[in-house]
Chains A and B, each alone.
Chain A
Amino acid sequence: MLFRTGPFLTRLESSLPMLSDTLDLLYGQRPVEAEDQLIDFHIQVRRRPGLRGRLRPQAVFSTDMDTPFYPFPLDQAYPLFEWGLNYCIAMQSHQYLMLHSAVLEKNGRVLLLPAPPGSGKSTLCAALSYRGWRLLSDEFGLLRPDSGLIDPLPRPIPLKNRSIDVFKAFEPSAVVGPTYPGTRKGDVAHVHPGEEALRRWREAARPAWVVFPRFDPDETTRLHDFAKGRAFLKLSGNAFNYPLQGRRGFHAVDRIIRECSTWYLPFRNLDEAVAVLDELAARSLSDDGGS
């Protein structure tokens, strides 16, 4: 199976139906590419062979000659594939400064949501993607250091534990894949990235806002100014390959911080957070005279 995710072309070899069924559901009308192209990642997800594999069915992820993870239970083949693809991108895509951030776009401007695990970043990202924001990525801000543009990498958004039901209640019509209970990251389910995001994968855009979100049920949902210097440190510290990029990475982050407004957003529910970010986008549009 050959398919495209943003700028990357992946060849996936697998005969596991539980993987291909979920891929069909979550990547939907993914573009099927011709065979004569350069392939970025060669991935295999296979059932573990031998006696042990028969006694305890497991899935093994491998890429080229590398098998970076211990086998997963066979019924977790899909999350294994998604984490494995993350691994391939993080290890090989150093043409980009890879920001650890959710990335969405509205009116041609990019919102960066860099945040550590547990902050509600993915849940908020999924919510925004179903409220008029185009998903560029839930995990990787693929920044071209020289132009300052971010390339889309639209893929299913992984939700964990309680956030799965929170999101389903927020958007009952959303396409959500199966829930995988008891993975190494808890219960996991993936949200479809949206047809528009998949269709517009070539459309890069420029960052306008850096917002550090944090779910906190006891806080009022509102934007707070976030000092530029602190934002620089947090954004560069959250990048997967910042030290490797050297001065190029430093100047790329510096440019983002100079060109974007920087905010901290505690939020107690998704509706309020979406409303606040919609207002931020609308305010910027009106500041520009509606251009």
Chain B
Amino acid sequence: METLWRVPLIKAFSRTCWNDEYFLFNPASGYTHVLNQLSIDIIDLLAESPCGTRDAQSRMIDTWRIDADEQAGFAQRIEEHLHQLCYLGLISDGTFDDTLLIPR
């Protein structure tokens, strides 16, 4: 079964931006993360609608208008970012009921 990536805490995040760097505060961890444009776009895409890895890759390729000869490498980067964002606790792979984490 394919992983379903999503952003359960999107409404709780705070963010700001300077010079193409995004600063995202996660109240569940108390950490402020420095993210690049690609990571922010992935989070926004998953916040709009949860999806699997292939769907995320496809949508990001469209959004970023990646040339055909660069799509394979870009898709690999997307997958790596998904796992990294999940590791940081910013997105979820749906393996546990993370809705419990949403601050009230």
Contacts and interface: CB of A to CB of B under 8 A. Distances in A.
Interface of A: 227-229, 232-233, 236, 242-244, 246-247, 250-251, 254, 257
Contact of A227 (B18, B25, B32): B18
Contacts of A229: 18-19, 21, 23, 34
Nearest to B13: A247
A246 B18 CA distance: 20
A257 B23 CA distance: 12
Tell me the interface secondary structure of chain B in the complex: strand
Given A229-B34, A233-B34, A251 B18 contact: no
Contacts, number: 37
Nearest to A244: B30
Interface of B: 12, 14, 16, 18-19, 21, 23, 25, 27, 30-32, 34
A263 B32 CA distance: 22
Contacts of A236: 32
A227 B30 CA distance: 23
Contacts of B34: 229, 233
Tell me the interface secondary structure of chain A in the complex: helix
B18 A250 contact: no
A20 B36 CA distance: 55
A144 B36 CA distance: 30
A246 B29 CA distance: 9
B27 to A, nearest CB: 5
Contact of A243 (B12, B16, B23, B31): B31
A246 B23 contact: no
A246 B30 contact: yes
Contacts of A228: 18-19
A247 B27 contact: yes
5 contacts: A233-B34, A246-B25, A247-B12, A250-B32, A254-B23
Given A236-B32, A247-B14, A250-B14, 9 more contacts: A227-B19, A228-B19, A229-B21, A232-B18, A243-B31, A246-B25, A246-B27, A246-B30, A251-B14
